[in-house]
């Protein structure tokens, strides 16, 4: 195979697609040919990459014929239509949407957790939900050391999780409140400025939201722990970027705080910020635009035996989406799995 990858980015003009281009450049991914794809209405839009200008093309079967790997940064309905088209043309699809995540024959991968599953793909590899990626990077090292029995997680999710429209609505909402005018929310259920909304995605039959249940379904699949008990709550917060998570775990085997901290210090992709006496702990303002998962407030959960409490923060556009997908692609290329 010729050196370098023929890489297509589907949704190259969107928030995640644009981040993928930045991450590819930063990580010096070996791109032989870049194909930027988007909605036909955006055809011709210029895209900058490594000092060159590329023109966005309309998504087509012909485009997939020209690519080895396609990074899909689009919604589920579009992915369901395009991923089979990629497979048909011998193009591996790494999909960022929810479309294929729970299918038995589609690997759902966080490279720090289950990279071995990549080799099981049949033409599609799924990128997990952003909050799931962040949580599994944090809890899997504890699971490997002491086997998790139960997880309680509350997520505090930035408005950029709803895309560019979410960012714009927060800004407009702040201006409206400051100026004393009213504004009808369009993206969120209620005004998001100076507010918290415990409602992301739709409610399902058990009165959890689908966003919350993704943390259950996806974590169990990624960690190969089908019986792991997980109680999730997902909250939208008026933060631009980076999701935060309060996580309490209960383990089968006792494990000391010192051992947990030692494990985290040796875990790739993790940064420990845990000096409460010096006010050192992760915060979204300072973790944005980075690829690591930041862990702090590491302490005993004294409400249960073998309990550990964590505060975890990461940039959901990068590690929670773009970077995770590109890490998958790097392993695919390294092991020639395309």
Q: What is the pLDDT of residues 284-304, one digit of tens each?
A: 999 999 999 999 999 999 999
pLDDT in tens, 58-113: 999 999 999 999 999 999 999 999 999 999 999 999 999 999 999 999 999 999 99
Banded model confidence at residue 167, pLDDT cuts 50, 70, 90: very high
- Same structural domain for residues 222 and 304? yes
Residue 264 clears pLDDT 50, i.e. is over it? yes
231 in the same domain as 186? no
Q: Same domain for 202 and 245?
A: yes
Q: Are residues 108 and 174 in the same domain?
A: no
Judge if 154 and 275 occupy the same domain: yes
So what's the pLDDT on residue 231?
98
Distance CA 281, CA 16 (A): 27
Query: How many other CB atoms are found less than 10 A from the CB of residue 90?
Result: 12
Q: Do 175 and 234 share a domain, yes or no? A: no
Number of domains in the chain: 3
User: Reduced to 3 states, what is the DSSP secondary structure of residue 40?
Assistant: helix
One domain, residues 24 and 112: yes
The domain that contains 233 carries what CATH number? 3.30.360.10
Res 171 pLDDT > 90: yes
For residue 30, the domain's CATH number is 3.40.50.720
Q: Both 224 and 307 in a single domain?
A: yes
pLDDT, mean over the chain: 96
Q: Specify whether 186 is located in the same domain as 104.
A: no
Q: What is the pLDDT of residues 130-146, one digit of tens each?
A: 999 999 999 999 999 99
Q: How would you classify the pairing of strands 243-251 and 148-157? A: antiparallel
Per the structure block, which two tokens stand in for 105? 């024959």
| Together in a domain, 51 and 104 | yes
How confident is the model over 42-63, as pLDDT tens digits? 999 999 999 999 999 999 999 9
Please check the confidence at residue 24 and state whether its pLDDT lies above 70.
yes
Range of the domain at 184: 164-194
Mean pLDDT of 244-272: 97
Q: What residues act catalytically?
A: 130, 243
Residues 175, 202, single domain; the answer is no
pTM: 0.96
DSSP H helices, the chain, are 15-26, 61-65, 76-88, 130-146, 164-179, 210-222, 257-265, 284-287, 323-334
Q: Are residues 300 and 283 in the same domain?
A: yes
SS3 5: strand
Residue 2: predicted pLDDT: 55
Model confidence band, residue 3 (pLDDT cutoffs 50, 70, 90) = confident
Average pLDDT of span 187-213:
97
Q: What is the pLDDT of residue 1?
A: 44
């Amino acid at each position: 195979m010729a050196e370098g990858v023929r890489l297509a980015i589907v949704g190259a003009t969107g928030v995640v697609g644009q981040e993928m281009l930045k991450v590819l450049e930063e990580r010096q991914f070996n791109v032989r040919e870049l194909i930027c794809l988007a909605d036909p209405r955006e055809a011709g839009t210029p895209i900058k990459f490594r000092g060159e200008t590329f023109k966005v093309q309309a998504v087509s079967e012909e485009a997939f014929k020209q690519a080895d790997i396609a990074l899909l940064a689009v919604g589920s309905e579009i992915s369901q239509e395009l991923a089979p088209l990629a497979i048909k043309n011998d193009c591996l699809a790494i999909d960022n949407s929810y479309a294929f995540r729970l299918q038995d024959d589609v690997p759902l991968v966080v490279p720090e957790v289950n990279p071995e599953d990549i080799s099981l793909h049949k033409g599609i590899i799924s990128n997990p939900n952003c909050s799931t990626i962040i949580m599994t990077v944090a809890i899997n090292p504890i699971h490997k050391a002491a086997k998790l029995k139960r997880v309680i997680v509350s997520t505090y999710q930035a408005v950029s999780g709803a895309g560019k429209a979410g960012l714009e609505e927060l800004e407009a909402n702040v201006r409206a409140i400051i100026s004393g005018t009213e504004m009808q929310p369009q993206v969120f259920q209620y005004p998001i400025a100076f507010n918290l909304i415990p409602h992301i995605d739709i409610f399902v039959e058990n009165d959890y939201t689908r966003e919350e249940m993704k943390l259950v379904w996806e974590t169990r699949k990624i960690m190969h722990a089908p019986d792991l008990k997980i109680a999730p709550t997902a909250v939208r917060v008026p933060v631009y970027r980076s999701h935060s998570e309060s996580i309490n775990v209960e383990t089968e085997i006792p494990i000391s705080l010192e051992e947990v901290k030692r494990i985290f210090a040796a875990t790739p992709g993790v940064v420990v910020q845990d000096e409460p006496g010096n006010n050192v702990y992760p915060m979204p303002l300072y973790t944005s635009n980075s690829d690591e998962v930041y862990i702090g407030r590491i302490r005993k959960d004294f409400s249960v035996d073998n309990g550990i409490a964590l505060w975890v923060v990461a940039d959901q556009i990068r590690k929670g989406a773009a970077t995770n997908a590109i890490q998958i692609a790097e392993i695919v290329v390294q092991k020639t799995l395309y």
